[in-house]
Structure 1
Amino acid sequence: MLPLVVVLGACSGASQMARPAASVESPEIAAGQSLGGGLRTVASLPNPVDSSGAAVQRIAANDVLAIDVFRVDELDHQAEVDGSGNVTLPLIGSVRAAGRTIPEFQADLKRLYGSRYLQNPEITVSMKSSAGQRVTVDGEVRSAGLYPTGANTTLLQVVALAGGLNAIADPSKVFVFRDVGAEKLVAQYDVAAIREGRRPDPRIAGGDVVVVFASGIRIFGQNLREALGLASSASGLLL
């Protein structure tokens, strides 16, 4: 099988994926599969909600965080979340940030600093700039790129923002990737079924990556890992 190629066009916005000469039926990606690199398939993505049911923003790659440690000025730091979802901080080194809420990440830092370096540290984390208010859309859409999201943005709305599916897109092969805690989850959606009311229209969160595959491509774990990596890398160039 030919390798999958995903290109996110900064100028043209068009993104084409290689498709094989022969059309073959794509198997369903079974939920619960571990695809390596912390990526796991699920039947549907969990809604990003807090305990009250309200939408919450989660930290994403390329966000810039300000960390203030009360009365320890040398530990105050402004850090950018790297492409792997981590930040590097004084004393404690690399810490996972992507997929965490600000309160969760703040609690992580209190635990890490408090376990070895500080007694009852008071740490405040704030968002200086956020890439997580946007979603990356790539693959077989008319205009790939970064698009703004709100608390109630849905998959169909995101596809519409990208100009809709192009002529070779397979509406049943729309994959959404999301950071949840230390994991990256991916779920497959059929936008034709959603449009017809046969499936619910899932809510899209800031920091999600949506990739649409072409008709005739068989989907394997390697395709998904490559699509995610290329789409994430290209979106970083547009920030």
Structure 2
Amino acid sequence: MNIKLFLIIAAMIGAFAALTGGASGQAPAGGRASGTIGSMDTVEIRVFREEELTTMGQLSPNGTITMPLIGAVKMAGLTTDQAAAAITAKLKDGFLVNPQVSVSIEARVRRSITVLGQVQNSGVFELPANRKLTVVEAIGMAGGATRIANTKKITLKRNTGGKPQVSILNLKDITSGKTADIPLRDGDVLTVPESLF
């Protein structure tokens, strides 16, 4: 597949995700959201007919929230359904016979990536709340690479444990399937350099 055609398709996918709310960092106005829970998100946990167990609050920096009876529960990285199942299992373990638990995301902490250099529209882009965003999709959301871009030497800068880690990526290798596309994380910076003629 021609790399320019692929980038156009990726840009269309990115635009569609943004229009349909896939890149929204907030729970719907006046409503609750489901999906993957991020660290520092605000969640509400309800247990049917057990009002005293209702818990709402922001997750701690290590991705947990403390509930009555069962203490700290790790929720970051789980979907709302997975979190409800984990809490149900803990409550069944000596506390309630048949707990019915629901978990919802009340507010999300905005997570974003930055795309710089030789793309049509450089800038900061929000990470979708309910799915992963990859390098190819991010470049597509930025309008694709320019004619003078060197897509063989894209840099991905990522902070891992407080230490910056830099990787060099070849977009053609990713789009051809030679190497895997990389899911992006909060704070990642992609830079597309200019080709030297």
TM bucket normalised to smaller: 0.5 to 0.7
Whether the 8 Å contact between 1:85 and 1:97 is mirrored in structure 2 is yes
2:112 aligned residue (132, 136, 139)? 136
Structure 1 residues 99 and 152 mapped into 2: Cα distance closer, same or farther (>3 Å)? closer
Counterpart residue identity of residue 136, structure 1: S
Structure-2 residue corresponding to 1:156: 136
Counterpart residue identity of residue 188, structure 2: V
Structure-2 residue corresponding to 1:190: 169
Q: Percent identity?
A: 23
Structure 1 residues 93 and 103 mapped into 2: Cα distance closer, same or farther (>3 Å)? same
Whether the 8 Å contact between 1:61 and 1:84 is mirrored in structure 2 is yes
Q: Distance in 2 between matches of 1:199 and 1:114?
A: 45
CA-based RMSD = 4.1
2:154 aligned residue (164, 171, 175)? 171
TM-score by length of 1: 0.45
Are 2:57 and 1:79 equivalent residues in the alignment? yes
Q: Distance in 2 between matches of 1:129 and 1:159?
A: 27
Instruction: For residue 199 of structure 1, report the CA deviation from its aligned partner.
Output: 3.6
Q: Distance in 1 between matches of 2:139 and 2:174?
A: 11
Whether the 8 Å contact between 2:63 and 2:76 is mirrored in structure 1 is yes
Matches within 5 A, 1:224-235: none
Q: Distance in 2 between matches of 1:100 and 1:176?
A: 22
Structure-2 residue corresponding to 1:104: 82
**For the pair shown, which has the larger CA radius of gyration, 1 or 2?**
2
Q: Distance in 1 between matches of 2:42 and 2:77?
A: 14
Are 2:101 and 1:118 equivalent residues in the alignment? no
Q: Distance in 2 between matches of 1:81 and 1:157?
A: 29
Q: Distance in 1 between matches of 2:168 and 2:79?
A: 26
Instruction: For residue 195 of structure 1, report the CA deviation from its aligned partner.
Output: 7.0
Counterpart residue identity of residue 108, structure 2: S
TM-score by length of 2: 0.53
Whether the 8 Å contact between 2:136 and 2:171 is mirrored in structure 1 is no
Instruction: For residue 75 of structure 1, report the CA deviation from its aligned partner.
Output: 0.7
Instruction: For residue 96 of structure 1, report the CA deviation from its aligned partner.
Output: 0.7
Q: Distance in 2 between matches of 1:98 and 1:67?
A: 14
Post-superposition Cα deviations, 1:199-237, rounded to whole Å, max 9, x if no partner, equal: 454455xxx3253489xxxxxxxxxxxxxxxxxxxxxxx
Are 2:44 and 1:61 equivalent residues in the alignment? no
Post-superposition Cα deviations, 1:63-85, rounded to whole Å, max 9, x if no partner, equal: 22111111111111112222221
Instruction: For residue 148 of structure 1, report the CA deviation from its aligned partner.
Output: 4.3
Structure 1 residues 116 and 145 mapped into 2: Cα distance closer, same or farther (>3 Å)? farther
Instruction: For residue 157 of structure 1, report the CA deviation from its aligned partner.
Output: 3.5
Counterpart residue identity of residue 95, structure 1: V
Q: The residue matched to 2:89 in structure 1 has which SS?
A: helix
Counterpart residue identity of residue 48, structure 2: F
Q: Distance in 2 between matches of 1:75 and 1:193?
A: 52
Whether the 8 Å contact between 2:158 and 2:189 is mirrored in structure 1 is yes
Instruction: For residue 105 of structure 1, report the CA deviation from its aligned partner.
Output: 0.7
Note the residue ranges of structure 2 that are not aligned, 5 or more in a row. Answer: 1-33, 146-152, 192-197
